[in-house]
Structure 1
Amino acid sequence: MFYAVQTLSSVISGTNGRIPELRVEDAPRFRWRGMQIDVARNFHSVVNIKRLIKAMSMYKMNVLHLHLTDDEGWRLVIDGLPELTQVSFEHFLNSHT
């Protein structure tokens, strides 16, 4: 139903709100249609991630790959494993001085 509404809104967008007579056959060309965003090395705000998800839904994308880890680029804080973020922060400081 959601995808039907997205298709209908894209058809209506250039017709002054009038729906022309048409037949829509819509199926994904590929099983996954999506994007990857690298949050391991680049910080993104929650607002920007939500904006991306909204834009993806308008283009009927169905997969969002969040790249959470990359060698020393760990960003997820885990209380029992503080060294994960500590090591990545130290690596960042050493590589940028």
Structure 2
Amino acid sequence: MFYAVQSLRSIVDGASGANIRAMTVHDAPRYRWRGMHLDVARNFRTLDDVKRLLNVNAMYKMNVLHLHLTDDEGWRLEIDGLQELTEVCIDKQKKN
């Protein structure tokens, strides 16, 4: 149902006015998955940027998001109680 709504949204966005001509839509993914890779380990993004990206992915009917959170010791997600994950990264950056 979600993908049907996305198809309808794309038709309505391109239609002039509220009238939509009768049509039959055959829609199926060419591949088993459609997705994208987001690397926040090296390229910082705000929460709003990530949410906007997720909305665009849904609009294009993408069903996989590969979210790259870590790179070597470069952990970027702060977790209360596990401060050492981000401390290792900060210490290593100070040495370089």
Question: Scaled by the length of structure 2, what TM-score is found?
Answer: 0.84
Aligned to 1:73: 74
Aligned to 2:3: 3
Q: Letter of the aligned partner of 1:2 in structure 2?
A: F
Aligned to 2:58: 57
Whether 2:83 is the aligned partner of 1:82: answer yes
Whether 2:26 is the aligned partner of 1:44: answer no
Q: Letter of the aligned partner of 1:75 in structure 2?
A: R
Query: 1:18-66 deviations in whole A, cap 9, x for unaligned?
Result: 2122111111111111111111122211111111111111001111111
Which sections of structure 2, spanning at least 5 residues, go unmatched?
none
CA distance in 2, matches of 1:79, 1:54: 28
**Residues matched between the structures, number:** 95
CA distance in 1, matches of 2:29, 2:7: 13
CA distance in 1, matches of 2:24, 2:94: 58
CA distance in 1, matches of 2:11, 2:77: 41
Aligned to 1:25: 26
CA distance in 2, matches of 1:62, 1:51: 15
Which sections of structure 1, spanning at least 5 residues, go unmatched?
none
Whether 2:16 is the aligned partner of 1:13: answer no
Question: Scaled by the length of structure 1, what TM-score is found?
Answer: 0.84
Alpha-carbon distance, 1:14 to partner: 2.4
